[in-house]
């Protein structure tokens, strides 16, 4: 039996359809270039396309690396 859509949950859909971009980096990518940097000792290595910097251990001290742009952004946020 089919209803006429006049009951509760009639499916009108009032959403705006826009996503605000969640997660790190507001969902944006930094591109294929750039560097991975160790926040502890400052070691810098070229970023490899398709490999997250956080999955790479620093060759000097063994700590996880971070994307250079993210490290700069954090430094700038802490200056305010």
Per-domain boundaries in the chain: 32-78
pLDDT of residue 10: 54
Q: In which band, very low, low, confident or very high, does the pLDDT at 53 lie, cut at 50, 70 and 90? A: very high
Instruction: Check residue 74 and give its pLDDT.
Output: 81
Task: Note whether 40 and 61 are within 8 A (CB).
Answer: yes
Q: Tally Cβ neighbours within 10 Å of residue 19.
A: 7
**pTM for this structure?**
0.57
Is the pLDDT score of 44 beyond 90? yes
The per-residue pLDDT for range 12-43, each reduced to its tens digit, is 655 555 544 444 544 456 767 899 999 999 99
Q: What is the mean pLDDT of the chain?
A: 76
- CA neighbor of 38 nearest in space, from 18, 53, 24: 53
Residue, of 51 and 3, whose pLDDT is higher: 51
CA distance linking residue 30 with residue 34, whole number of Å: 8
3-class secondary structure, 66: strand
């Amino acid at each position: 039996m089919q209803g006429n859509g006049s009951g509760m949950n009639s499916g009108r859909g009032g959403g705006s359809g826009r996503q605000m971009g969640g997660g790190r980096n507001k969902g944006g990518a930094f591109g294929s270039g750039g560097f991975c940097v160790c926040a502890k000792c400052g070691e810098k290595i070229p970023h490899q396309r398709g490999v997250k910097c956080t999955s790479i251990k620093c060759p000097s001290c063994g700590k996880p690396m971070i994307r250079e742009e993210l490290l700069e952004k954090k430094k700038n946020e802490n200056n305010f």
